[in-house]
Structure 1
Amino acid sequence: MGNMVTEIVAFLLTISGWVLISSTLPTDYWKVSSVDGTVITTATFWSNLWKTCVTDSTGVSNCKDFPSMLALDAYIQVCRGLMISAVCLGFFGAILALVGMKCTKIGGSESTKAKITCLSGLNFILCGICSLTTCSLYAQRITSEFFDPLFMAQKFELGAALFIGWAGSALCIVGGVVFCFSMTEGFSMRDYSNNGARSFISTQNKKSSGSPHKGAADQGCPARQFGRNAYV
């Protein structure tokens, strides 16, 4: 019962983290910068993995998609690949978790379901690592440009999408570790009990199937031992 509750808690953590990670892809504010002036000229510049936009004080936004994938900066291409990989890993991890959890009726035997759940936990851990790497790489680029005195272009600050991605990564990693830890503990206890039973049975068999001479001696048969002066 306790193991089942642990699986349910881990499942809720990982699914919540995966939803947060997936929501960062269409989120607008990966990096944001404001140009303050009068009420009319105030504008907000923001950008994500797909486009860059500017919003004026009236709420009207003008966006420009990145023209070519091959002409993008290397870090944006890496971030795109890692985020898409994180979403895919989380999706397959959720399917494996539904199949392998003890509270479901599919997945086969108990040992098979345990292996599937461990694989699901590893998927969620990789999902969190991919998302964590993406957000950290993007944030490192923003901070390096912001604090670089020689960088003369417009400087940006960290957007809300990065904090959402970090939170989702933490939930996925924690939930995946809980999945793997619970299943590993179950495997170790099961193997210990099985090994103990096997060793006990083998010991009993060895005792019962000893050498015939030793058995005869145990049953009271006299041993053929003669002294030096037996026939004198």
Structure 2
Amino acid sequence: MAASMIQLIGFMLSALGVFLISAATAMDMWSLQDRSFTIVTNVYTYSGLWNSCVGTSYGTTQCRPYFTILGLPALLQAVRALMIVGIVFGVIGCLIAIFALKCLKMGNMEDNIKATMTLTAGILFLLAGVCGIAGVSAFANLIVQSFRFTTYADSGYGVLGGSDIGGLSGGLTPRYTFGPALFVGWIGGAILVIGGVLMCLACRGMTPDNKQRYDGMAYKAASQHTIYKSDTRPRPAYNDSYKAQSMDGRQTNQRFDYV
């Protein structure tokens, strides 16, 4: 009962994790423009793995997909590959876990087969969670490096605290920070790892402990000093009265055994 509950909880968590990393992959807000030092805050830009968008505070949004593959950074393509591989592993793990549920009867499937399928699904969920966390972390590291080395071109601030018109002058280079999709991906990957661990633990409880025992007899080989004794029992003597008689009354040497 405990193994089936752990298996069911692990499957539900893993399915939720697959949904979250799939949603994070489809979201466009992986990197969001930092508006801390900008004057115009009603217009901002953000981008994801597939589109680059411009949004306004009025709710209007215009997105432009990436029309090229070879022109994109190698890290972005690696993040795409990691997220897609994680989704594929998660979907395959969910399909295997559905048929491996102990509460679901599938013909005459034995517990050993279901335990093996549960372990396989747990390993796939672990791999999917690791791929999702690795992809999101790699993109987050790219944002951190870009944010650290991006500076404003000419701030216009005076030495004594004075400033030019508007407080800023010169062109500004936009900086980007973490978007909501990164947090969704991190949470989804962590849930996938937890679900995979629970599935692997449920596999141990599903394996039957009562193994079939075979009753046998101990065989003792004969030693080298074995002495074989001859048979000294008396042999039964034959009775001549059972000899067959011929037609003329004479006895013959033929004997007949009567059963």
TM-score, length-scaled by structure 1: 0.79
Matched, 1:162 2:188: no
Matched, 1:179 2:199: yes
TM superposition shift of 1:211: 4.8
Q: SS at the partner of 1:97?
A: helix
TM superposition shift of 1:210: 3.3
For structure 2, the 5+ residue unaligned runs are 154-172, 224-259
Check 1:151–1:176 CA distance in 2 against 1; reply closer, same or farther (3 A cut).
farther
- Please, which of 206, 209, 220 is the counterpart of residue 210 of structure 1? 220
Q: Is the 8 A contact 2:111 2:206 kept in 1?
A: no
TM superposition shift of 1:182: 2.2
Q: Is the 8 A contact 1:19 1:168 kept in 2?
A: yes
TM superposition shift of 1:53: 1.1
Q: Output one character per residue of 1:165-222: Cα deviation in whole Å (capped at 9) or x when no partner.
A: 10010111111011112213544x63xx538x45xx45xx21xx43578xxxxxxxxx
Check 1:115–1:151 CA distance in 2 against 1; reply closer, same or farther (3 A cut).
farther
Matched, 1:194 2:211: yes
Q: Is the 8 A contact 2:150 2:175 kept in 1?
A: no
Alpha-carbon separation, structure 2, partners of 1:149 and 1:4: 53
Alpha-carbon separation, structure 2, partners of 1:149 and 1:17: 34
Alpha-carbon separation, structure 2, partners of 1:28 and 1:88: 20
Q: Is the 8 A contact 2:14 2:195 kept in 1?
A: yes
Q: Is the 8 A contact 2:24 2:181 kept in 1?
A: yes
Q: Is the 8 A contact 1:101 1:114 kept in 2?
A: no
Check 1:151–1:57 CA distance in 2 against 1; reply closer, same or farther (3 A cut).
closer
Matched, 1:121 2:138: no
Q: Identical aligned pairs, as a percentage? A: 28
Q: How does 1:137-156 map to 2 (within 5 A)?
A: 137-148=138-149, 153-156=173-176
TM superposition shift of 1:29: 0.9
Structure 1 equivalent of residue 54 of structure 2: 54
Letter paired with 1:44: Y
Structure 1 equivalent of residue 157 of structure 2: none
Structure 1 equivalent of residue 234 of structure 2: none
Check 1:10–1:176 CA distance in 2 against 1; reply closer, same or farther (3 A cut).
same
Q: SS at the partner of 1:78?
A: helix
Structure of larger gyration radius: 2
Q: What is the CA RMSD across the aligned residues, in angstroms? A: 2.7
Q: Is the 8 A contact 1:92 1:123 kept in 2?
A: yes
Q: SS at the partner of 1:63?
A: strand
Structure 2 equivalent of residue 6 of structure 1: 6
Letter paired with 1:37: I
Structure 1 equivalent of residue 25 of structure 2: 25
TM-score, length-scaled by structure 2: 0.71
For structure 1, the 5+ residue unaligned runs are 214-232
Structure 2 equivalent of residue 132 of structure 1: 133
TM superposition shift of 1:37: 2.6
Q: How does 1:76-87 map to 2 (within 5 A)?
A: 76-87=76-87
Letter paired with 2:115: A
Q: Is the 8 A contact 2:132 2:189 kept in 1?
A: yes
Q: SS at the partner of 1:137?
A: helix
Q: Is the 8 A contact 1:124 1:173 kept in 2?
A: yes
Regions of 4+ moved over 4 Å: 149-153
Letter paired with 1:98: I
Q: SS at the partner of 1:68?
A: coil
Check 1:149–1:71 CA distance in 2 against 1; reply closer, same or farther (3 A cut).
closer
Structure 2 equivalent of residue 219 of structure 1: none
Q: Output one character per residue of 1:105-153: Cα deviation in whole Å (capped at 9) or x when no partner.
A: 1272111111111111111111101100010000000011111256974
Q: SS at the partner of 1:194?
A: coil
